[in-house]
């Protein structure tokens, strides 16, 4: 009998038991969260509880969490020239590192000619090169960097990059999809203006993500999806209550278990590097990754 070992957590983590329970419970709610009757208010309460849990995961204000269908949509929502952060100078260009997720490399709603890629060395962005670009442009820009790479695990110097970007009057978006659940994320400490999360990377359900803003003054004037006034006008359409409920449950579990999970991963890493997790030769032909 072949036993499979699932090791593709960076693509999608297994659904946590607590998240599954939250998802099933939310599926039983009939109300539209935008309705004012009792059933609608019950659905709304589930969403707001989840919003608080997701905000707490990154030390943000719940009012600044916009739920989306996933990390890709959250990135697309963030990458727009229509961000108003209290500075009257318009954002005219997007700078991204060369190793970003395809949803960032695509440039969101920036014109292709307004997107520039910054080279990396050993997987890490060169802050000196970033500063040179910012000085040469002399324009207000949006910079997008991933917190941790999904293929190499390399972490970017986010706080230092934020200092450089802000010194030149720009804004910083951080794709933290792969970092959540693996490391502590503190939005104020990182200095990011916008941060992207995805539920199924941390044991939530597929189909939910979030864009988190640093404060309420940061406004995206042109929502990606228009129509209703859901998500305080940030994302139209009836919310995916069940997936959002599972997202909130997973976020709460991550926050409670992060220190223990990090120690566990360190032990597994050490055993792997010592060769103690290798498949015995007699079984190697039957192993599945």
CB atoms closer than 10 angstroms to residue 263: 10
Residue 266 is encoded by which pair of tokens? 């360190």
Q: How high does pLDDT run on average in the chain?
A: 91
- Mean pLDDT along residues 22-41: 97
278: pLDDT confidence band, cut at 50, 70 and 90?
low
pLDDT for the residue 271: 87
In the predicted model, is pLDDT for residue 254 greater than 70? yes
132 CB neighbour count, 10 Å cutoff: 12
Helix (H) or strand (E) segment spanning residue 199: none
Percentage of the chain surpassing pLDDT 90?
75
- What average pLDDT does range 153-162 have in this prediction? 95
Domain ranges of the chain: 38-248
Residue of 197 and 221 predicted with greater confidence? 197
pLDDT band at 280 (very low <50, low <70, confident <90, very high): low
Residues 6 or more apart whose CB falls under 8 angstroms from that of 149 comprise 99, 123, 155, 156, 178
Tell me what the mean pLDDT of segment 183-200 comes to. Answer: 97
Q: Which CATH architecture has domain 38-248?
A: 3-Layer(aba) Sandwich (3.40)
Cα distances (angstroms) measured from residue 261 to each of 15, 178, 231, 232, 288: 16, 15, 32, 34, 24
CA distance 72 to 49: 23
Examine the pLDDT at 274 and tell me if it is beyond 90. no
Q: Which pLDDT belongs to residue 86? A: 66
Q: What is the pLDDT of residue 279?
A: 55
* pLDDT for position 87: 67
Distance between CA atoms of 107 and 115, rounded to whole angstroms? 6
For residue 283, pLDDT over 50 is answered with no
Q: Where are the alpha helices (DSSP H) in the chain?
A: 17-27, 38-57, 71-78, 102-105, 127-137, 158-167, 187-190, 241-273, 281-284
């Amino acid at each position: 009998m072949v036993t499979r070992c699932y090791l593709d957590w960076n693509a999608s983590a297994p659904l946590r038991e607590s998240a599954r329970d939250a998802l099933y419970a939310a599926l039983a709610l009939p109300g539209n969260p935008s309705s004012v009757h009792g059933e609608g208010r019950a659905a709304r309460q589930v969403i707001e509880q989840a919003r608080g849990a997701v905000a707490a995961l990154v030390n943000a204000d719940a009012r600044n969490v916009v739920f989306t269908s996933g990390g890709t949509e959250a990135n697309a929502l963030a990458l727009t020239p229509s961000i108003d952060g209290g500075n009257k100078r318009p954002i005219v260009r997007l700078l991204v590192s060369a190793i970003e997720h395809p949803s960032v490399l695509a440039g969101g709603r920036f014109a292709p000619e307004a997107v520039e890629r910054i080279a990396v060395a050993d997987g890490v962005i060169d802050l000196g090169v970033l500063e040179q670009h910012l000085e040469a442009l002399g324009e207000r820009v949006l910079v997008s960097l991933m917190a941790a790479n999904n293929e190499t695990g390399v972490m970017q110097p986010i706080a230092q990059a934020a200092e450089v970007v802000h010194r030149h009057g720009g804004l910083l978006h951080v794709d933290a999809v792969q970092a959540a659940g693996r490391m502590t994320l503190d939005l104020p400490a990182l200095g990011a203006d916008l941060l992207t999360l995805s539920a199924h990377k941390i044991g939530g359900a597929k189909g939910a993500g979030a864009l988190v803003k640093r404060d309420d003054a940061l406004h995206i004037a042109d929502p990606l999806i228009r129509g209703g006034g859901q998500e305080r006008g940030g994302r139209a359409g009836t919310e995916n209550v069940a997936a959002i409920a599972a997202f909130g449950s997973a976020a709460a579990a991550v926050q409670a278990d992060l220190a223990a999970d990090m120690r566990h991963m360190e032990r597994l890493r050490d055993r792997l590097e010592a060769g103690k997790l290798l498949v015995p030769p007699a079984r190697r032909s039957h192993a599945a990754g």
